Amino acid sequence: MKIMIIGGTSGIGLALAQHYLAQANEVAICGRDLQRVEGSLFKQYAKLSGYEFDIADQAALGNAMKNFSATGLDMLIVAAGFYFNTRHHQLDEATTLRMLQTNVSGLSHAFELGAKIMLAQKSGHVVAIGSAAGLLKNYPGASLYSASKRTVLNLCDTYRIALAPFSIAVTAIVPGYVDTLKLRQLNHGNASHKLFILSEKKAVTHIVSAIENRVRISVFPWKMQCLINVLNQLPRALLAMRR
Ligand SMILES: NC(=O)c1ccc[n+]([C@@H]2O[C@H](COP(=O)([O-])OP(=O)(O)OC[C@H]3O[C@@H](n4cnc5c(N)ncnc54)[C@H](OP(=O)(O)O)[C@@H]3O)[C@@H](O)[C@H]2O)c1
């Protein structure tokens, strides 16, 4: 398979890249800084390529996708995301814009370009990494991040309906906490206190299984899904007291 992973230079995206490379797939990892990927990985896998661009830069994204997909594209995974540790983070205008450009409009452009290639070949699979934060409804003080990830789910729904007649699958991956370097950095080096946190390895197992089964939406771990279901049933006044 030919797989492009935008947001593949670290964390969940890189772990997925390593999984698919080990299965002898052709993988492109993309991000703003390819230096983050150990050079030895490129030496280890001849089928690995890298593209450096900001997902907000539509032209650069288009060039990379055109280049990698010259002989087809089986799967596009958009893992690029921008997040903070808490929903109480104050966002200035530039940071707000960056979050929306990375998590929403960048993903939307990537989907559009990927879908174009897949429509021509009448096959393919588009995957987005959302977040359990996007499932929370009417949560008092909910963050822009959770709104952006809710939009990811909505975009996945829209593309799924549009692309289904052409044998193109769309999977929304909705993880709870995953013990990535980024999450650890946001938590002074240790994120183990985060509720129901999973290792990258376990997260990859969940994601790969959802992709293989062409699942529409995969929420994990199940305990996080249950907690969110309960929170979504609680009266808003009760939730506001938790802030
Ligand atoms: N870790 C968690 O607990 C968790 C939970 C739920 C959902 N998620 C979601 O999972 C995804 C990955 O999270 P992670 O923890 O693995 O974070 P991460 O290690 O920071 O990975 C983010 C990836 O996105 C890339 N990226 C960020 N901004 C970009 C931009 N403007 N243009 C292109 N690439 C960009 C980064 O590469 P460069 O820096 O090289 O650009 C990196 O490869 C995110 O979408 C996040 O919201 C994470």
Ligand 1 center–CA 36 separation, angstroms: 12
Helix/strand/coil for 63: helix
Cβ contacts of 19 within 8 Å, gap of 6 or more: 204, 208
Give dist(CA 127, CA 114) in Å, integer. Answer: 10
Pocket test for ligand 1, best of 4, 6, 10 (most atoms within 8 A of CB): 10
| Pocket mutation for ligand 1, best pick of 18, 32, 77, 190 (most atoms within 8 Å of C-beta) | 32
Ligand 1 within 6 A of CB of 220: no
Task: Report, at the CATH architecture level, how domain 2-240 is classified.
Answer: 3-Layer(aba) Sandwich (3.40)
Distance 173 CA to ligand 1 centre (A): 13
Residue 118 Cα to ligand 1 midpoint, Å, equals: 24
- Token pair for 139: 């949560």
pLDDT for the residue 142: 66
Contact 30/4 with Cβ under 8 angstroms?
yes
Contact 76, 61 (CB under 8 A): no
Per-residue pLDDT of the chain (243 residues; tens, 9 = 90+): 999 999 999 999 999 999 999 999 999 999 999 999 998 999 999 999 999 999 999 999 999 999 999 999 999 999 999 988 666 667 789 989 999 999 999 999 999 999 999 999 999 999 999 999 999 887 666 688 999 999 999 999 999 999 999 999 999 999 999 999 999 999 999 999 999 999 999 999 999 999 999 999 999 999 999 999 998 888 766 666 655
pLDDT of residue 141: 61
Q: Which residue from 160, 168, 190 is spatially nearest to 177, judged by alpha carbons?
A: 190
In ligand 1, which atom is closest to the CA atom of 33?
Answer: 40
Residue nearest to atom 44 of ligand 1 (CA): 81
Where do the domains of the chain lie?
2-240
Residue 165: asked if its preceding bond is cis (omega within 30°), the reply is no
Other Cβ atoms less than 10 A from the Cβ of 99: the count is 20
CB atoms within 10 A of CB 51: 19
Element (H, E) at 35: none
3-state secondary structure 99-165: HHHHHHHHHHHHHHHHHHHHHHHCCEEEEEECCHHHHCCCCCCCCHHHHHHHHHHHHHHHHHHHHHH
CA distance 124 to 174: 20
Length of the chain: 243
**Does any ligand 1 atom lie closer than 6 A to the CB of residue 185?**
no
Ligand 1 midpoint to CA 100 (Å)? 13
**Residue 180 alpha carbon to ligand 1 centre in Å:** 9
- H or E stretch including 71? none
Q: What pLDDT is attached to residue 143?
A: 83
Residue nearest atom 37 of ligand 1, based on CA coordinates: 31
66-72 long-range Cβ contacts below 8 angstroms, 24+ apart: 68/2, 68/4, 68/28, 69/2, 69/4, 69/117, 71/2, 72/2, 72/117, 72/121
Predicted pLDDT of residue 242: 56
User: For residue 182, how far is its CA from the centre of ligand 1 (angstroms)?
Assistant: 8
Distance from C-alpha of 60 to C-alpha of 90, rounded to nearest angstrom:
30
